[in-house]
């Protein structure tokens, strides 16, 4: 009965958004004038949207009690105030999560942007950070990700979680430099078993809400901090970049048996990338060395080994309004012999090399108002697949409909994608923008 009531609420909200979008423009503007007028008096731009999303599992999951994968009504506001001395940006989401039965406010941005000199930018506060060349594959982009949002059907925007950081950008004719300092470690919004089941290597099986992962978090301000840098420049049609990161694994990558909790071991990352025109498309290559500081010898079975990560990609429009992109990604575990020797007898072993290919197909129709998209991960080494089909229809400048799915399957329950097999879901969304 609870699922029926939740579905009824979502349908009612969806019909309300659709009805609002179908009103005459003058009516809509009249209703929104008080809020917009208030911010205009403050010389502040005001944008945002209302959104309803609902989705359900397509598989029976014995580790999760809810059949709904997502059910929420969301309001996002985006404020930008441009002053002579700099910009102030505040962006947040307020939503009712009907699956978790709670109201949530997620402050995604709250920062000040300054330009002290012509060759220097400074951004202070909460911000969403990204760099690197991968398409939904991240090597040198070690900023926090929200994997729960990604797997349950929220907009891809929410894959990138915010950081509380200071970003300094320096520009010159020789090269440009970005430096990001985060005084308190910002982890991923990772999978714990709450809402999404996963394979727990300590238990040796899939786990869910009855066996949530217990975490030892890092919260020492200025002591457990992070620093990331990017040095880059353009040479003709190519962007070349070098990266460095000094911090911690962003999702739990170790286990403390004394506390019986998962931990975030120390991690340094060094890498490089190149992206530019090749033939009729855009090619990219990226590499990263993951230095697992707490297990450099590779003989601690409770801490991730160091790794090398490699990526090659290519994207091209192969027909009018039809684009294809492919990527080939490899994770190489270092000190693999020591890793094998240190394994507990009943543990599932990882491969020394994990291979992943991706394919993105995007077709635009109806004057580019209808988008058909499919993004597929396939790992030949793990023999598992993750598919993200999506249909997005822009009915007007304000109203958008979306239907999508997250599909996981494979041979073994412990592989990266197939561990989420029981979380396979179908979702829909309606958004009204202003």
Pick the range with the lowest mean pLDDT from 126-140, 328-342, 344-358: 344-358
In angstroms, rounded to a whole number, what is the distance separating the alpha carbons of residues 305 and 141? 19
Range of the domain at 145: 2-433
Phi-psi sector, 395: left (phi>0), alpha (psi -120 to 50), beta: alpha
DSSP 349: P
pLDDT for 29 beyond 50: no
Confidence of residue 390 (pLDDT cuts 50, 70, 90): very high
Backbone angles phi, psi at 129, to 5 degrees: -115, 145
Q: What is the average pLDDT across 44-50? A: 96
Confidence of residue 428 (pLDDT cuts 50, 70, 90): very high
88, 78, 8: which is closest to 50 by C-alpha? Answer: 78
Residue 2, pLDDT score: 46
**Token pair in block for residue 383:** 């023999």
Confidence of residue 40 (pLDDT cuts 50, 70, 90): confident
DSSP 10: H
pLDDT for 249 beyond 50: yes
Distances in Å between the alpha carbon of 233 and those of 166, 167, 274, 290? 22, 18, 10, 23
Instruction: Report the run of H or E that residue 401 belongs to, with start and end.
Output: strand 399-410
Residue 229: Cβ within 10 Å count: 15
Q: What would the pLDDT profile of 183-233 be if each residue is shown by its tens digit?
A: 999 999 999 999 999 999 889 999 999 999 999 999 999 999 999 999 999
**Token pair in block for residue 143:** 């900023």
In angstroms, rounded to a whole number, what is the distance separating the alpha carbons of residues 304 and 354? 14
Residue with tokens 């990263």: 288
Burial 17-33 (b: 16+ CB within 10 A, else e): beebbeeeeeebeeeee
Total number of domains constituting the chain: 1
Identify the CATH number of the domain in which residue 386 sits: 2.40.160.10
Q: What is the average pLDDT across 260-280? A: 97
Contact between 323 and 311 (Cβ < 8 Å): no
Question: Residue 344: which residues within 8 A CB-CB, separation 6 or more?
Answer: 301
Residue 345, pLDDT score: 83
In angstroms, rounded to a whole number, what is the distance separating the alpha carbons of residues 150 and 161? 11
How many helices (DSSP H) and strands (DSSP E) are in the chain? 4, 22
Distances in Å between the alpha carbon of 103 and those of 3, 73, 94, 161, 374? 18, 10, 8, 19, 32
Q: What would the pLDDT profile of 50-70 be if each residue is shown by its tens digit?
A: 999 999 999 999 999 999 999
Residue 20, pLDDT score: 57
């Amino acid at each position: 009965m609870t699922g029926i009531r939740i579905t009824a609420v979502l349908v009612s909200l969806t019909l309300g958004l659709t009805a609002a979008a179908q009103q005459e423009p003058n009516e809509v503007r009249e209703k929104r004038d008080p809020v917009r007028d208030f911010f205009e008096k403050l010389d502040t731009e005001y944008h945002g949207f209302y959104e309803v999303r609902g989705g359900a599992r397509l598989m029976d999951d014995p580790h999760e009690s809810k059949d709904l994968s997502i059910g929420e009504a969301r309001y996002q506001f985006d404020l930008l105030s441009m002053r002579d001395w700099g910009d102030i940006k505040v962006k947040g989401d307020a939503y009712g999560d009907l699956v978790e039965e709670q109201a949530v406010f997620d402050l995604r941005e709250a920062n000040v942007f300054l330009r002290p000199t012509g060759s220097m930018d400074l951004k202070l506060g909460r911000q969403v950070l990204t760099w690197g060349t991968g398409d939904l594959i991240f090597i040198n982009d070690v900023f926090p990700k929200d994997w729960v949002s990604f797997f349950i059907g929220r907009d891809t925007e929410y894959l990138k979680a915010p950081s509380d950081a200071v970003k300094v950008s320096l520009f010159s004719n020789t090269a440009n430099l970005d430096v990001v300092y985060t005084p308190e470690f910002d982890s991923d919004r990772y999978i714990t078993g709450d809402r999404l089941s996963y394979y727990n290597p300590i238990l040796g099986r899939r786990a869910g809400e009855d066996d949530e992962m217990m975490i030892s978090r890092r919260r020492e301000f200025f002591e457990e901090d992070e620093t990331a840098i990017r040095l880059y420049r353009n040479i003709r049609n190519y962007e070349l970049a070098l990266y460095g990161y000094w911090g911690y694994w962003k999702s739990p990558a170790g286990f403390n048996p004394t506390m019986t909790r998962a931990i975030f071991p120390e991690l340094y990352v060094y890498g490089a990338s190149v992206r530019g025109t090749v033939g009729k498309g855009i090619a990219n290559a990226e590499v990263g060395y993951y230095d697992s500081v707490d297990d450099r010898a590779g003989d601690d079975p409770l801490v991730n080994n160091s790794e090398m990560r490699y990526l090659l990609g290519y994207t091209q429009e192969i027909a009018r309004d039809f684009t294809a992109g492919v990527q080939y990604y490899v994770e190489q575990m270092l000190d693999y012999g020591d890793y094998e020797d240190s394994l507990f007898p009943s543990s599932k072993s990882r491969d020394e090399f994990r291979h992943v290919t991706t394919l993105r197909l995007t077709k635009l129709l109806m004057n580019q108002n209808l988008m058909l998209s499919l993004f597929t991960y396939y790992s030949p080494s793990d023999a598992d697949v993750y598919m993200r089909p999506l249909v997005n229809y822009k009915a007007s400048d304000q109203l958008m409909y979306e239907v999508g799915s997250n599909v996981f399957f494979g041979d073994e329950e412990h592989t990266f994608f197939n561990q989420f097999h029981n979380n396979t879901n179908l979702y829909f969304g309606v958004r009204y923008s202003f």
